[in-house]
Amino acid sequence: MRKIGLIGGMSWESSALYYSLINEGIKAELGGLHSARCVLSSVDFAEIEAMQAQGRWDESGELLAAEARGLQAAGADCVLLCTNTMHKVADQISEAIDIPLIHLADVAANAVRAAGLETVGLLGTRFTMEEDFYSDRLHTAGLTVLTPDAADRAEVDRVIYSELVLGEIREESRKAYQQIVERLVARGAEGIILGCTEIELLLRPADAPVPLFATTALHAQAAVDFALHQ
């Protein structure tokens, strides 16, 4: 079994879900007392969020690249960056290590294509929805990507940073997200990528009229597949 390296803490709420899902995946495949061989480096999200807000992306990339090098030194055979937004600096991280970085957008795109869909809505932080570092990789996979309008983007982002990363799950926010999803579906979205690792703490498959692609769960399964089959 290969060892999985995780850069977490962004936020720890979703990082805990990563750890659980990866170990559940290993147990499902191997049975018995098996669990994942993994190493986790968890950063202080307050520090990372301040860098995001101030546009200090190169600095945050250097910090996360150093964490990735530490995971490689600890024997990791791959690295997962347990956050969608910080894939803005994925190239900086990948260039710092000699082991694969399993890119979350590629994993999401593969799942959408496997489902036979071509047009998807994308929910995430404002960085993920409004910049091209994530959507470009989806486009490269042949997908058409729809994002919410400005007011809806602001609400999606607000809920992430003021509620979900703090572990707060509010029914009114779930309803607001459902309405945003419905508007994306009305524009032609055949599925919705939950492009923030915390959103699947809020939205469940039954909350939408189209398939939801939960990036934490998909990323965790990709890690399990790498550990056992590649």
Active-site positions read 83, 196
Phi-psi region of 189 (alpha: psi -120 to 50; beta: other; left: phi over 0): beta
Alpha carbon of 115 to those of 62, 109, 195, 204: distances in Å? 36, 10, 17, 18
* Residue 51 CA to its chain's centroid (Å): 19
Name the helix (H) or strand (E) containing 29. helix 12-30
Amino acid type, 167: G
Token code pair at residue 7: 């850069």
Name the helix (H) or strand (E) containing 79. strand 78-81
Alpha carbon of 5 to those of 31, 163, 208, 226, 229: distances in Å? 22, 27, 32, 11, 16
Alpha carbon of 9 to those of 2, 22, 53, 82: distances in Å? 22, 16, 17, 8
> Residues 79, 53, 162, 157: is their CA dihedral positive or negative?
negative
Token code pair at residue 16: 């805990």
